[in-house]
Amino acid sequence: MSEIAQNDNFNDKTNIKVVGVGGAGGNAVNRMIAEGLQNVEFVAINTDAKDLLRSDADVKISLSDANSRGLGAGADPEKGAKAAQDHQSDIEEVLKGADMVFVTAGEGGGTGTGASPLVARAARQQGALTIAVVTRPFTFEGPRRSASAESGIENLRKEVDALIVIPNDRLLDLSDRTVSVMDAFKTADTALLAGVQGITDLITMNSYIHVDFSDVTAILKDAGTALFGIGAARGEDRATQAAEIAISSPLLEESIEGAHGALINVAGPTDLSMQEASAAAQLVQDAIHPEAQIIWGLALDDAYGDEVRVTVIAAGFDPTPKKEETPAPTVDSTAAPAVAAPVQEPQQPVTGPSVQAESDETSEHDVVLPDSGDDGTSDPGYLDIPDFLR
């Protein structure tokens, strides 16, 4: 007679870590914490000691040394990469045990641009599904910062399974013409939050048809470029309207037409009909590659009211996606990636604390381990979609 063995040590909870690198990455992590993103551990990594003191992350890693004295990387990606290389053991320690690691940063500065590839490499070498969600700088930040960002994005692309790039200029186009500089950068933080939450919610939400970690891995492992869209609608044809909004999101830099893989999550009240849900999924399926692998989930909760929300994560655009047996097996984990020449930032048209993404960097020299806490439960109340995504 067969027996069912019960393992009290079994834990089906996916270990997800969100790592904010540099000033913009740290700001994004603070925003995620403030908005109540749950079931993840937050890590802040920076060379700017003052900026790191403002972090609310569970774990903080200072990349400062005797030379930098905690004053940041000075918009120099080489300094950011060197700092991460010198603290590689600290980075590897905090990433141990992670199933999925998000690396979030603002490209174009020093720490975010230079250190992010090394953080991603460390996560991937430990077997974690590694996803980067980064922003491309505003045009008003100058051509040199834009050039540095492009170089940083290409370096990061080599070290992750999937890369989502959010163009800040698109956010500016969607904002009021009188938007302040501070609010513009806050909008960028919100976009980074949406990119991370769009994926974590697929795994952590209580769903009628559940999307689990293996499903996400099937679509995003070695996927290269990835795109995400979120849509919400009420009234007649609410599900298909939400799906249409998701696949035509203004944050998408390109069409999802060529995607060879997609994660689709439909969420709504318990009176959502199967016909509505399937119509939404079919609309997305018709928009991508005809032979694409599609995994979809369905979450039903009356807390959504009469609203239906559709989240789409599309991937598999690259003509020759990376297929490695083990992440970066021949790469020396202590070697810094090639970075652009040091970029001296031109005088910005704005000054003061409002330009928070310029502050690329930390405090304590040691790794500060987090206090243990209870896992939160998913609540549709904190899943509100930012106005710019509606």
Q: Is 316 annotated as a binding residue?
A: no
Q: Is 381 annotated as a binding residue?
A: no
Could you please report the per-residue DSSP string of 75-106?
T-HHHHHHHHHHTHHHHHHHHTT-SEEEEEEE
How many Å from the N-terminal Cα to the C-terminal Cα in the chain?
Answer: 57
Q: Is 26 annotated as a binding residue?
A: yes
Q: Is 80 annotated as a binding residue?
A: no
Distance between CA atoms of residues 26 and 185, nearest Å: 12
List helix spans (H) across the chain: 22-34, 49-53, 77-86, 88-95, 111-125, 143-157, 168-174, 181-204, 213-220, 238-247, 274-287
What is the token pair recorded at 127? 């077997």
Strands of 16-21's sheet in order across: 59-62, 41-46, 16-21, 100-106, 129-136, 162-167, 224-233, 308-315, 261-268, 293-300
Q: Is 265 annotated as a binding residue?
A: no
236 Cβ neighbours under 8 A, 6+ residues apart: none
Strand pairing of 261-268 and 224-233?
A: unpaired
Q: Is 110 annotated as a binding residue?
A: yes
Q: Is 145 annotated as a binding residue?
A: yes
Binding site per annotation, positions for GTP: 23-27, 110-112, 141, 145, 189
Binding site per annotation, positions: 23-27, 110-112, 141, 145, 189
